[in-house]
A and B are shown apart, each in its own frame.
Chain A
């Protein structure tokens, strides 16, 4: 037993020593790559003037002793560096120059190689680079992973496909109406859809999927997207969903209708208000305030008067105070009538300029 532990101890010591040496080497190489390329890349990426590929290669070449783009480790280091630069400078980056930098460093070929011959983990990393760098690989390479048994690889591949596909980026919305989504899926899909919108690419009508999806997560995602992308055409579909049985879906439908300023909803929301659970009541108050028809002061006042929950009271007072001049007048009227200390503080809270709006 003692001998066994001695052996294990020395094996681990050797492993750690090896790790120290390899880490030092890796650190040195990474630092060298940063020293050589970081400044010139940032300079080219932030240059408002669009440079030709030849010019970019020429300006990078003096910093590079060997041909770049062939060595896997080296290209991966550059890919990480580019990802950091994109994260740091965001919109300031000249997109054409950034694409040309990637071509100069052989990033598209590197990603294709990773996707063809890499392990599953390397494939996933390559797929994440596609989004992160706004890189391009052939759609045909992605196809094989779209129905892969490895869930993480499949998810990443679908996102990447949505990102680069010119033919049918949203095909999975048709196929996966019963898919469960986690918050990261929603965040990533929103990022992709929003990116398409920024680039001026067409975005399909999401209303049909909002209505037809079986899974609640998908419904919620599509309704939220309708709200965030401002698809006013879908108001009618959402309006029909207002009495849906699920509280979660009903809540997002009401929030979306408010954000889309769907005027005809106001009457319906006021009518259904008394029978709703507290969190939906709060969403209705917010939606009424966003719709801003100009006639909702009395509703907001009565929402305050009938509320049993302090949060609802505070919210309705805040919305009433910021609604209109008449709202301010009614607010002052209510303030004078407030008898209890607990209620009076709500009025002071709403009026205080240093406290962020509710």
Chain B
């Protein structure tokens, strides 16, 4: 019986790992197709020139919830208002801040309370008031003051209620957007033959970058370990994972840090779920559900251009909080939408993405910890064939490095994020160390998230410690860490 169990486990792990490796290779290939298609036809200066003059250009509302962001709020709103695009507005939601966030906005942007006809199309925590600037220079700024709803989702919903354009971008107020991000993100919407309901832009870590007046002027890899690992993880996720899924219209998720959405579809699908711990993934799953239920064609697209820089968790404590929440959100979303799994009605999402997420994302930490415990047991009982173990270990390790190098190669292919070659040495270093230092923590945090969900432990959002990107020339890494 013991031997049968051992054999079963061996074969299970072998097939599981092989399938995972094959899926990565397929995704890399699909991603390359997406990147190639994107690079072929896109002449950015021409697109900007034509969109600037066209009455057909769709308007975009930038929605940025703010909770206790007094250090960064003024610079970041300036940065958002300085975006280049012919038709856009900036909606800031003060989500019941207890510091001077709102006062700083009022003082700096000459805001006054206006009798705004707020129409609650999506339910949120109580709305208090709307503020607009008396200065015509800031006529595109609108600030919503509301009672704290406890989640970013609730604040974003208030922003969606106020947004006046057909598309909106949901971002964090501390994110730094590329000046031309709106042109890049609207391109798939205007150039697609099918209605595009969401577009995801690539995000990177701002830790390490040089920032001037709320704009990234020099892109550098983070110099501290945790953000560096995260940067590699983001590159892998956006350039291989999401670009690959995007090629077959099976995007699992549009990041909460930067994503463009069709406002009418979001409202029809019910907006962000304020009770979700992974509101971005949950919203996309629900939007897909809505479109498939009504048999409407749709596309969700990932673009390779870096549109947004965000300050990543600088230490393990904050990373723990973030990843525990993601783990909890993953199991919650899968539980809520379990009827979609293996359901033909939901096309790629039901037949590919959700089963893939269950098998290779949800189960992965459980299998990893199970496998590691089993290995320890065998090591102590003398059941390990060390020669074979080293071969398997090296194969898997080199495969991981191979994927990381593919990411770097793709980054070069699309026009390299980092302008200095040696920045990539940092990324390669991170890739060499990641499986031993970073990955075990991520696995543990995910398991902790599952556990918290199962025992229904109380959840507090906590505060992401930010020092902010100063108005003058700053190295974000020095400040964040």
Contact = CB atoms under 8 A, between A and B. Distances in A.
Interface of A: 1-2, 5-6, 8-9, 12-13, 15-16, 19-20, 23-24, 27, 80, 83-84, 86-87, 90, 121, 124-125, 128-129, 131-132, 152, 156, 180, 182-184, 186-188, 190-191, 194, 224, 228, 310-311, 314, 345-346, 348-349, 351-352, 354-356
15 contacts: A2-B398, A9-B401, A16-B424, A19-B416, A20-B421, A87-B45, A131-B46, A132-B46, A188-B50, A194-B53, A224-B56, A310-B119, A352-B114, A354-B133, A356-B139
Contact of A9 (B45, B51, B55, B402): B402
B1 interface: no
Given A183-B58, A184-B191, A311-B119, A90 B399 contact: no
Contact of A24 (B54, B408, B409, B421): B421
A355 B398 contact: no
A87 to B, nearest CB: 4
A13 B40 contact: no
Contacts of A12: 402, 405-406, 409
A104 B408 CA distance: 39
A57 to B, nearest CB: 25
Contacts of B107: none
Given A186-B56, A190-B55, A5 B398 contact: yes
Contacts of A131: 46, 50
B134 interface: yes
Contact of B40 (A121, A180, A186, A348): A121
B335 interface: no
Contact of A84 (B45, B50, B51): B45
Contact of B116 (A6, A9, A355): A355
B137 interface: no
Nearest to B54: A187
Contacts of B134: 354
Given A183-B56, A311-B119, A2 B394 contact: yes
Closest 8 CB pairs of A and B: A348-B115, A5-B398, A132-B46, A20-B421, A349-B117, A12-B405, A183-B190, A354-B132
Chain A interface mostly: helix
A345 B113 CA distance: 13
Max chain B Cβ within 10 angstroms of own Cβ: one of A121, A124, A152, A187: A187
Interface of B: 40-41, 43, 45-46, 48-58, 112, 114-119, 132-134, 139, 164, 189-193, 391, 394-395, 398-399, 401-402, 405-406, 408-409, 412, 416, 419, 421, 424
Given A5-B398, A191-B50, A310 B45 contact: no
Contacts of B41: 121, 124, 128, 152, 156
A19 B53 CA distance: 37
Contacts of A15: 409
Contacts of A191: 50, 53-54
Given A180-B193, A355-B114, A355-B116, A128 B55 contact: no
A354 B58 CA distance: 23
B409 A132 contact: no
Given A8-B398, A180-B193, A349-B117, 6 more contacts: A19-B416, A83-B43, A131-B50, A152-B41, A352-B114, A356-B139
Nearest to A90: B49
A228 B55 contact: yes
A354 B399 contact: no
A150 to B, nearest CB: 11
A46 B161 CA distance: 45
A182 B191 contact: yes
B55 A16 contact: no
A132 B119 contact: no
Given A87-B49, A190-B56, A355-B114, A132 B412 contact: no
A183 to B, nearest CB: 4
Given A23-B412, A188-B50, A354 B40 contact: no
Contacts of A20: 412, 421, 424
Contact of B190 (A6, A184, A352): A184
A6 B399 CA distance: 9
Contact of B46 (A121, A128, A348, A354): A128
B391 A354 contact: no
B38 to A, nearest CB: 12
B51 A187 contact: yes
A348 to B, nearest CB: 3
A11 to B, nearest CB: 9
Max chain A Cβ within 10 angstroms of own Cβ: one of B40, B134, B139: B40
A132 B402 contact: no
A13 B41 CA distance: 29
Nearest to B48: A87
B54 A182 contact: no
B114 to A, nearest CB: 5
A75 to B, nearest CB: 15
B405 A132 contact: no
A140 B331 CA distance: 61
A274 to B, nearest CB: 23
Given A5-B399, A186-B56, A190-B56, A128 B43 contact: yes
A132 B43 CA distance: 9
A227 B408 CA distance: 49
Contacts of B133: 354
Contacts of B55: 190, 228
B13 to A, nearest CB: 16
Contacts of A129: 43, 46
Contacts of B48: 87
A19 B49 contact: no
A84 B48 CA distance: 10
B36 to A, nearest CB: 9
B54 A190 contact: yes
Contacts of A152: 40-41
A188 B405 CA distance: 39
Contacts of A27: 419
A152 B114 CA distance: 49
Max chain A Cβ within 10 angstroms of own Cβ: one of B55, B398, B408: B398
Max chain A Cβ within 10 angstroms of own Cβ: one of B45, B119, B164, B395: B45
A16 B43 contact: no
B289 to A, nearest CB: 25
B45 A182 contact: no
B114 A132 contact: no
B45 A1 contact: no
Contacts of B56: 183, 186-187, 190, 224
A2 B395 contact: yes
A49 to B, nearest CB: 25
Given A86-B45, A345-B117, A187 B398 contact: no
Given A1-B395, A180-B193, A87 B114 contact: no
B428 to A, nearest CB: 8
Given A228-B55, A349-B115, A187 B50 contact: yes
Contacts of A128: 41, 43, 46
